[in-house]
Amino acid sequence: MVFHSKETLEHWVAEFIDARSGGEEIRVAVQDGSGGEDTGLVLIPLVAAPNSVWIEPRDIGEELSWHVFIEPAEQTLELTSFELNGLTHELQIAAELCAYLQERSLGHYEPEATPESSASATD
């Protein structure tokens, strides 16, 4: 499985935030991959809604595809037009970041840790 380290994702998220206005609250959390790798989980906090939103990659056959996940709220979300506009802006940032991560991932492979490099680091 192709993965991207937390460090790589933090770098990409910082580039994304620097290139646009908004998204300063986005952060990358540690997520252990199936092989114990340090993959990243991109968290997008919402101000205008209580839902949890995150972005992560999924393997689809030979392809890596980034997806936005939105957990459902426990109750009906009631918003004014102003609040809905704010939520729309937050979700637009999530969509743009998802597309950015997809683009940055094309052809990018993380270097794998080898037993030799681990042994030489401890010598």
16: left (phi over 0), alpha (psi -120 to 50) or beta: alpha
63: three-class secondary structure by DSSP: strand
pTM: 0.79
Residue whose structure tokens are 């680091």:
121
Question: Which residue segments constitute the domains of the chain, with CATH numbers given?
Answer: 6-115 (3.30.310)
Condensed to tens digits (0 to 9), the pLDDT of residues 67-106 reads 999 999 888 999 999 999 999 999 999 999 999 999 998 8
Condensed to tens digits (0 to 9), the pLDDT of residues 16-44 reads 999 987 788 999 987 765 555 556 789 99
What pLDDT, on a 0 to 100 scale, did the predictor assign at position 65? 86
Residue 113 has pLDDT above 90, yes or no: no
What pLDDT, on a 0 to 100 scale, did the predictor assign at position 103? 92
